[in-house]
Amino acid sequence: MENIEKHENKRRILWSLFISFFNMALFTVGGGYAMLPVMEDEFVRKKKWVKAEDIVDVMAVIQSVPGVIALNAAVFVGTRVAGFAGGLVSGLGVVTPSFIVILLIAMFMRNIGQLELVDNAFIGIRSGVCALIFLAAINLGRKIVNDKVELCMALAAFFAIMFLRVNVLLIIVIGGLAGMIRYYFNMRKMALSSDAARKQEGKQ
């Protein structure tokens, strides 16, 4: 009986993952960046399946691996929630709406892009997408930037990408190395402080 309940619970979770990512992909225009705040609201605040830090990890991972951002994010979160099966159904959920919509456009609406009404609609949609991406950037910044060093690193990366046109992949590699170096020095500092405290206790 317990095994049956676990199986049914797993099935409900997988179905919920598929429906959630299906709806996100269907109604969130603008790709993975625009999907991030929706994903955080759905899985962190409402369902409480993942932590806010996991969404930050999503951003770091999808920036450093090849592939479509929305699909990578869906597979990452789905795998965190329900393992391999979760990643599979989440990936299917996020690609299915695009497949259906593009198929319908190709079959019945070849000249849709030439319609003035549709063109004006996309102007408004693009404005909304910019707002979603900006919101995602603010939310991620609040979670990632916790001190002056991280703020300086973020500003330096922004300046390098925006004004010096440095390749984003190079920024990711440099940021990763800087983070590891900082971690090493922090651990070294803690070890030295601990040794000093033990020596002080020994003298007493």
What does the pLDDT read at residue 85?
92
- Rounded Cα–Cα distance for residues 176 and 22 (Å): 32
Task: Compute the CA torsion angle 45, 50, 54, 58 (nearest 10 deg).
Answer: -90
Contacts of 105 (CB under 8 A, 6+ apart): 112
What does the pLDDT read at residue 169?
80
Q: What is the mean pLDDT of residues 34-50?
A: 83
Is the confidence at residue 131, as pLDDT, over 60? yes
What does the pLDDT read at residue 63?
67
User: Which has more pLDDT, 89 or 197?
Assistant: 89
Domain of 112, in residue numbers = 2-144
Give the residue from 117, 144, 171 where a domain finishes. Answer: 144
| Percent of the chain at pLDDT exceeding 70 | 83
Q: Please check whether residues 68 and 44 belong to one and the same domain.
A: yes
Query: pLDDT of 147-178, one tens digit each?
Result: 888 888 888 988 998 898 888 888 888 888 88
Q: What is the mean pLDDT of residues 176-204?
A: 77
Q: Please check whether residues 194 and 100 belong to one and the same domain.
A: no
| Percent of the chain at pLDDT exceeding 90 | 13
What does the pLDDT read at residue 2?
47
Q: Please check whether residues 57 and 123 belong to one and the same domain.
A: yes
User: Which has more pLDDT, 128 or 110?
Assistant: 128
pLDDT band at residue 31, thresholds of 50, 70 and 90?
low
Q: Please check whether residues 126 and 151 belong to one and the same domain.
A: no
DSSP per residue over 26-54, as a string?
A: HH-TT-HHHHHHHHHIIIIIIS--S-HHH
Query: pLDDT of 61-110, one tens digit each?
Result: 776 677 777 888 888 889 988 899 999 999 999 999 988 888 877 776 66
Q: How many CA atoms lie within 13 A of 93 on its CB side?
A: 23
Buried b (16+ CB within 10 A) or exposed e, 145-170: eeeeeeeebeeebeebeeeeeeeeee
Q: Please check whether residues 78 and 131 belong to one and the same domain.
A: yes
- Rounded Cα–Cα distance for residues 107 and 90 (Å): 27
What does the pLDDT read at residue 4?
46
Q: Please check whether residues 20 and 43 belong to one and the same domain.
A: yes
Give the residue from 119, 144, 169 where a domain finishes. Answer: 144
Q: Please check whether residues 55 and 124 belong to one and the same domain.
A: yes
Buried b (16+ CB within 10 A) or exposed e, 43-70: bbeeeebbeeebbbebbeebeeeeeebb
Q: Count structural domains, the chain.
A: 2
